[in-house]
Amino acid sequence: MATPRRNGQLSSCEPCRKSKLRCDHQSPICGRCLCHGQAERCFYHPAPLTQPRARTSRVISRRPKRQQRPDNQLVFRLDQKISSTAAPSPPSGLPPLTGEGDTLRDQHIARWTPKEKKSLGPGVLGLVSPKDIFREYEDILRAEEPDNIPTATVPTTTSSPSDPNQALLGVQVLSHLQKISWFHEIIELKNKISPGWFLGPPLTRALCDSMEQMYDRAVRNSRDTHAALATLSRQIFVNTSKDVRTHPTMNLPEYFDSISARWETVGLVFALLGTALFHTPDDDPIFTHRNPWKLEKCQLRNIATAVGEICCQFCNGAGTTSDPFCWLVNQQILTLMYGDSDYRVWQRLGDLSTIVYAFGLHQSGEDIEEKFPFFLVEIRKRVMVCAYAIDKELATSLGRPPRICSRYCVIPLPLDISYEDMVLSRSEAEKAFQNLDANGWNTEGKLTVGVRLRIVLLTSLLRESILELSLSPTTQHILARAEKLIQESRQTQQDLPSFLHWAPEEAAAGAYRFARDEGRIFAHIEFTYQEFLLHRILLKRLGINSQGLIESSLEIVTTLLDIIAMQTRPAHLMANMSWDLCYMGLPAAGILTSKLLSDNSSQMSNPSSTPFPANGRSLTIQKLNNFVSHLTFLVPPHERGYEIAQQGARFIRRVLDRILSPACPQPAPLMPDIELSENWLDGCDLNGDLDFMAWFDNIHWSQDPLLNFT
CA nearest 708: which of 337, 390, 467, 446? 390
Query: Cα angle vertex 197, ends 194, 199, to 5°?
Result: 95
Task: Please check whether residue 107 is in contact with residue 98, taking contact to mean a CB–CB distance below 8 angstroms.
Answer: yes
Segments forming the whole domain that contains residue 658: 578-697
User: Tell me, what CATH number does 39's domain have?
Assistant: 4.10.240.10
- Specify the pLDDT at position 179: 95
* 679 within domain boundaries: yes
Q: pTM for this structure? A: 0.75
Domain boundary (31, 47, 63) is at: 47
Residue 403 — left, alpha, or beta (φ > 0 → left; ψ -120 to 50 → alpha)? alpha
At a CB cut-off of 8 Å and minimum separation 6, what does 693 contact?
536, 587, 590, 591, 594
* 1 within domain boundaries: yes
* 180 within domain boundaries: no
Residues 9-41 have pLDDT tens digits of 788 888 888 887 888 887 777 878 877 777 767
* 152 within domain boundaries: no
Helix orientation angle between 263-278 and 225-240, rounded to the nearest 10 degrees = 100
CA nearest 331: which of 377, 378, 417, 264? 264
Query: Which helix (H) or strand (E) element contains residue 528?
Result: helix 518-537
* 531 within domain boundaries: no
- Specify the pLDDT at position 86: 38
Please, is 444 exposed, middle or buried when counting C-beta atoms within 10 Å of its C-beta (0-12, 13-18, 19+)? exposed
Residues 468-526 have pLDDT tens digits of 999 999 888 999 999 999 999 999 999 999 999 988 888 878 788 777 788 899 999 99
* 21 within domain boundaries: yes
CA nearest 564: which of 627, 644, 499, 648? 627
- Specify the pLDDT at position 347: 86
- Specify the pLDDT at position 660: 84
**How many Å apart are CA 205 and CA 592, to the nearest integer?**
46
Q: Which residues of 116-127 are buried (b: 16+ CB within 10 A; e: fewer)?
A: eeeeeeeeeeee
Q: Which residues of the chain have pLDDT under 50?
A: 54-101, 108-109, 112, 114, 117, 141, 143, 146-159, 571-574, 602-605, 607-608, 666-689, 701-710
- Specify the pLDDT at position 23: 85
* 217 within domain boundaries: no
Query: Which helix (H) or strand (E) element contains residue 77?
Result: none
Query: Which helix (H) or strand (E) element contains residue 454?
Result: helix 449-471
* 599 within domain boundaries: yes
CA nearest 567: which of 619, 512, 622, 504? 512
- Specify the pLDDT at position 1: 58
Total domain count, the chain: 2
